[in-house]
Amino acid sequence: ASAEKGGFSSFMEKEINDQPDAVAQTLLGRSDLDGKLTLDELRIDPELLKQVNKIIVLACGTAAYAGTVAKYAIENWCRIPTEVELAHEFRYRDPILDENTLVVSISQSGETMDTLMAVRYAREQGAKTISICNTNGSTIPRESDAVLYTHAGPEIAVASTKAFLAQITAAYLLGLYLAQLRGNIFSGQIKDVLADLNKIPAKIQTILDSAGPLRELARSMANEKSVLFLGRHVGYPVALEGALKLKEIAYIHAEGFAAGELKHGPIALIDDGQPVFVVVPSPRGRDSLHAKVVSNIQEVRARGARTLVIAEEGDEAVKAYAEYVFYVPETPTLLMPLLTTVPLQIFAAELAAAKGYDVDQPRNLAKSVTVE
């Protein structure tokens, strides 16, 4: 078994370390040298895709957070209204969809029962269905009009890591492809986004190589009872995913919040010594989100929180209010989740291992939920 783990202490650690490859393999062969997407594998009439006027992303668990990240990018690039919904909520609420609706399902296994049922329902209503999936020939892709495979390789650990980054990558490719088909105002920038995506694997490697102090922090926090995660914009689903990882494998109460909601409730939870991770947007972003999140760090710090910050390299502004900062390499805002998620995965895996838990097989959870 240790050989299968490639020398790592767990499959999860191996899979975290596989992420540069998972993203690179998912990008491979899907664009040409001129920066044009070549997704012929989609086998869905491009004319039909041009008519899409609404996108609904359906998934469960970690895959749903990949979908939430994708929503920000797809709406920005394609200007098509995009919703993300948990598959089990979607199928029981009489949703509105027709032949101009594109339903994008995301599933590592391709076997999650609720996601499968939601896709079936969407097809019955006449929607077009594309599945983003990591498992060749599994049920959800077989029952969809088209599939875009993630090439993360088999994921063994129950808690998803490399499949998540590959799902985000594939969803970005799909968003860029739709923008290309539409030839909209953004389509001139597709080439630049692809170039930035191609730089992501090396940047993930930089993160993996610099995680020593983060691992030390995680081990020192093995007795924490509760950890909060704040994020905004694409950092919000990253915060949710960071919290989910900690719940899943370390059995610590953890919650992710949209940083803007802080004063609408979560700030009441803050007292002396409460650890709070804050996922900070790039200071180079066009809007004022960076300043707003920095002031959130100040607000929780002033109430006694331990502020654990994930920020972009060169962001000096966070230093004054952070007990700890983990810097990720620079990348455009919409691509940041491919980097900022990684330290949160490492944190959860290291902390769970320090508690002596089986990080690959957490209690009560299954890799793939094939029942309702």
CB 103 within 8 A of CB 124: no
Radius of gyration over every alpha carbon of the chain, rounded to an integer in angstroms = 20
Among 112, 129, 282, 333, binds ligand G6P (CB under 6 A): 112
Residue 281 φ/ψ, nearest 5 degrees = -70, 165
345 binds ligand G6P (CB under 6 A): no
Stretch that binds ligand G6P, among 109-117, 211-219, 220-228, 254-262 (CB under 6 A): 109-117
CB closer to ligand G6P out of 107 and 274: 107
CB 17 within 8 A of CB 342: no
115 binds ligand G6P (CB under 6 A): yes
Q: Distances from the Cα of 80 to the Cαs of 57, 63, 142, 184, 208, in angstroms?
A: 12, 21, 26, 11, 35
* Binders of ligand G6P in range 45-64 (CB under 6 A): 60-63
78 binds ligand G6P (CB under 6 A): no
361 binds ligand G6P (CB under 6 A): no
| CA separation for the pair 176, 182 (Å, rounded) | 10
10 binds ligand G6P (CB under 6 A): no
296 binds ligand G6P (CB under 6 A): no
367 is catalytic: yes
119 binds ligand G6P (CB under 6 A): no
CB 144 within 8 A of CB 105: yes
- Please report how close the Cβ of residue 98 comes to ligand G6P at its closest, in angstroms: 25
333 binds ligand G6P (CB under 6 A): no
In 90-125, which positions are buried (b, 16+ CB within 10 angstroms) versus exposed (e)? bbeeebebeeebbbbbbbbbbbbbbbbbbbebbbee
* Binders of ligand G6P in range 88-107 (CB under 6 A): 107
CB closer to ligand G6P out of 161 and 274: 161
- Please report how close the Cβ of residue 135 comes to ligand G6P at its closest, in angstroms: 8
Ordered alpha helix ranges (H), 221-359: 235-250, 289-302, 337-354
Residues facing residue 107 across a β-bridge: 133
68 binds ligand G6P (CB under 6 A): no
Q: Which residues bind ligand G6P (CB under 6 A)?
A: 60-63, 107-109, 112, 115, 158-160, 365, 367-369
Active site residues: 367
